[in-house]
Amino acid sequence: MENDLLIYDKWDLTPPDILPRSTLHSLAPIGVGSSDVESLTSYVARLADSHQVTTGILLIYQIAPLISLLLPHQSNIDTKIIFSKLIDRNSGAANGVGLIASSLLLAIEQLTFRPELKFLTLLSWSGILHDRGLLRPHSAWCPMCYEEWKEKNLTIYEPLIWKFKIITTCSHHQVFLSSKCPHCQQIISHLSSRSKPGYCSKCHQWLGTLHLSQENMTPDELTWQVFVTNNVGSVLASTPYLLKIPYKQDIFQNLKRCIDLTTSGNKQAFAKLINSAKQTIFNWYEGNSFPQILALLKICYCLNISLFNLLTSNIYDIDIHNINDLNPTQCSKMNHYLPFDEIKALLLDYVDKSPPIPMEKVAQEVGQNIRDLYRFFPEICRSIAIKSKKYRHYLSEKKIETLYEQAKSAAIELANLGIYPSDSKVQNHLNWKGHMKNKKIRDYLAQVRRELGFDK
């Protein structure tokens, strides 16, 4: 019987090492290390879709609460407020160089365990690229790219390069990027509660098509856009492979050498070459201010150098016999990042906006120079400005009426206490700071004193 017993190997009951699991699907981003790398806002929308929830649900129940936990300065802020900062008008900044981008990135990395998501933003260049004039205020896309990807059964996404304000065309199809839904004619935010790449977040219609009716680009526009797209794309593609991001001071030295080598340090001549102001060139030369991306690209275009080399290498030699002219027509086109009809549509939205906002704020949100807006759309701009002025006047009158009531109540209270309600007594009683400088309030208070039997 004993010979019938079998001897088995001893079982190892030690629990195996199990790698940590991510809270959300560890979705792979598209195109990291290429010029067509995905944007972070696109990734968030695709991540929501992979969980079969809306982008808004993902943001408010997973991302916003985590941001509140991870960032000490956000810990006392309601998650709904954080959520509101991530969508609609502010959402373009999620792909940029500032706090909104870094906050969103930190939360998404922790939820997905994806270490390469930083390259879906411009955060690697946060100490270099100026956020002003960098990214579009609203989404833009190539309908032909969308349609081709759909036909080839490829993933639909939004490349980061489409988010640049300076990029107005698709390099693959050489057509203008669209920024208004062809179905509902609405402007689309980079990230909203119902974002889904390839679809309008307002009417949910498909945005792709191979049949576009657009005006043709001029040769100057095409030349400039090909140059801009290639250079910006090269920077995006190379960023993951950089051992370190250069210091801003090194780039200042490059700018200084460009001016010295090209015009022998003549700032006025260099300003004329790149169609800029002499004082601006002087500030760059002295290291007092840093160029926006448009200015950097103008320098690169004129001097036949790449943006990547200007930002990462030491410039010691420039072929002054191979310098490109930047003609006025080309420069004027560069200052208008959206087609005129789309800028006009944006401005018309502000005409009926309630409450009205000043033209300065409108220009900032549209992402255009206020002088250019007045130049090309004078009637719309004046209408916005007039409504804003009337609204400010209305608010001012309402405030005055409130101050009148407060002053009268204080004067009566002081009079009942047997105290003469002088201007200074009323001001101290109400703990006002500066309101008595307003002549209307002083005159009204004098009238109140007469009604109370003082100052007859």
What confidence score (pLDDT) does residue 78 get?
Answer: 59
What confidence score (pLDDT) does residue 329 get?
Answer: 47
The whole-angstrom separation of Cα 145 and Cα 169 is: 12
What confidence score (pLDDT) does residue 339 get?
Answer: 58
Report the DSSP beta bridge partners of residue 38.
159
Nearest alpha carbon to residue 373 among 351, 340, 333: 340
Q: In a structure prediction context, what are the per-residue pLDDT tens digits for the chain, which is 456 residues long?
A: 556 777 778 888 888 888 888 999 999 999 999 999 999 999 999 999 999 999 999 998 999 888 888 776 555 555 566 666 666 666 788 999 988 899 899 999 999 999 999 999 999 998 888 888 889 888 999 999 999 999 999 999 999 999 999 998 898 888 889 988 999 888 899 999 999 999 999 999 999 998 887 667 778 788 888 999 999 999 999 999 998 888 888 888 989 999 988 888 898 989 888 888 889 889 888 888 888 898 899 999 998 999 999 998 887 777 777 777 765 445 444 344 455 777 888 888 888 888 888 998 888 777 777 888 888 889 999 999 999 999 999 998 898 999 999 989 988 998 888 889 898 888 888 888 888 888 888 889 889 888 888 866
Whole-prediction pTM? 0.72
CATH topology of domain 246-325: 434 Repressor (Amino-terminal Domain) (1.10.260)
- Give the Cα-Cα-Cα angle 333, 310, 246 (nearest 5 degrees): 125
What confidence score (pLDDT) does residue 336 get?
Answer: 42
Boundaries of every domain in the chain: 21-245, 246-325, 342-451
What confidence score (pLDDT) does residue 12 get?
Answer: 80
Positive or negative CA dihedral for 252, 258, 260, 264? negative
